Structure 1
Amino acid sequence: MNKAYAVGLDIGGTHITAAIIDIVDMKVIDFSLHKESFDSNLPVEEVMAIWEKAIKTSIENSKAKNIVGLAACMPGPFDYENGICWIKDQSKYEHFYGLNVRYLFQGTLNLTSDFPILFENDAVCFGKGEVFKDSDNLSKKVMAITLGTGLGACFIDKGISISSGDLVPTDGEIYNIPFKDGIAEDYVSARGLLAKYFALSGKKLNNCLELFNLAKAEDQLAIKAFQEMGEDLAEIVMPWLEKFSANSFIIGGKIANASEFFLPVFNQKIKESGSNITVSVSTDNEIAALLGATSLLYTA
């Protein structure tokens, strides 16, 4: 089969990562991975110029010729089918609200209207990418989550994202499930972790990296904050793992890098529930997201 390639993009609030993906073998092309950090609250034209630079650098480094599409994993709220950004009051992309990002790509990159430009939720991209990274998962039911600024989730059955029906929560999302005195994301996220540490210690930290470094230094209150999050995470996901009949549960996102501090208690809670589900932590969130995005253009 002739090779076909796509531009894969992982777009966050402070970065864009571009890579060229072989969409026949679902592999990242050597030397094509390129990352740019930026302030997403810059004017639209400046943000698009940074995105253009990342894409063109990636294409140039890959030496790929037959590029047949572009696929981006984007944070929500976002109209993924029509390419319209609805992010508002989240301290990111404040100038993009209501804009058609597909049209912005077409204009910036001089693409024709029939050139495929596809979008997907960042958590779904991560989950799909993890499935494509391990072909054994293509026959399984997988629940994947991303732990970071927020709490993302996806439910995948034999490689297909499931976001409706009785077996998954509304829209396949768990961040807004009622939990304790708020919603799940209030407790399992960066702000949830920092709030736990403040409640335990009376100290305010600037970010989770500070908390992680304290835990590494054996600060018992920092470790306890992570453990409490692990307990909360287990309580939130267990009903849906059971309802979806998931074979595998995969944890990703930046906070997954601190799994040594929350995974043991999470696993203990899962085991106590009687579940024998396979639990794993992603070793490369970014590659998974890029593969997941371009799986929308998978040709095999």
Structure 2
Amino acid sequence: MEKWNQTSNDFILLGLFPPNGTGLILLLLISFIFLLASLGNSTMIHLIRMDPRLHTPMYILLSQLSLMDLMYISTTVPKMMFNFFSGQKGISFLGCWFQCFFFLTMAGSEGLLLCSMAYDRYVAICHPLHYPIRMSKRMCVKMIIGSWILGSTNSLAHTVYALHIPYCRSRVIDHFFCDVPAMLPLACMDTWVYEYLVFVSTSLFLLVPFLGITASYGRVLFVVYHMRSKEGRKKAFTTCSTHLTVVTFYYAPFVYTYLRPRNLRSPAEDKNMAVFYTILTPMLNPIIYSLRNKEVLGAMTRVFPIFSSKKK
């Protein structure tokens, strides 16, 4: 393992790909995915902001998901690209702090937001008469603010602790961003208490919401199956399956990575799993929600006249 000056507070990121031709091709692919994710999420935010027909709780929550995904992928990929093309591997202590904080904030906030989106669909399908009361715009705003506050508070606590651990070994992080579990093996103190807190935090922000979403959609699918309207049943099923696809891509790799004991994990596997929730999911979300949603496609023709002219 590469040695690092013990008098420095900076870290070294080994990255995701080897510095060769194969690594260059894979990084160019990641760069293309980054551009798609940035364009797709920015477009989704713009559509929902500009089209009054999308000013409903469902789409307001979706716009926040796009914002979180945009910040998510921007936290990790640009630095990885810069290090690869510049031939550098270093990241400053402050840069590592910002990566930890924003990554953990987006992870916790997005997990709670997906749970709010599932609740929105649950009320809309299972209790449609109560929807205007249970999912008013005021309630929607409270859910969004609550997700951001809880996510950032949890993130601040983990970031402050992780970057105050005495690192007396090499400062080489075998990852492509400053991920707390990847930094813990570098500490010169026993971190089992903190690892237990990571397990608890992951359970509260990811596992519990995931189980709640699964249970709520079980009820939703039961109601959808017994709908009399074929068109309504098809629309509800499409909405549910779309959200479940997003949830699975996001939660499954996260839970698999963070709830396993350290002795069952490997740096290579952790990095590969991180690609799903830091890079692929932010790209897939706007594609899945736009291509399978007639209202979003309709908004595109209204907000961007070029699409309506082509359609004609």
Tell me which protein shows more helix as a share of its residues.
Answer: 2
Q: Same fold (TM over 0.5)?
A: no
Tell me which protein shows more strand as a share of its residues.
Answer: 1
Q: Which has the higher contact order (CA 8 A, sep 6+)?
A: 2
| TM score, norm. by length of structure 2 | 0.33
| Larger Cα-atom Rg | 2
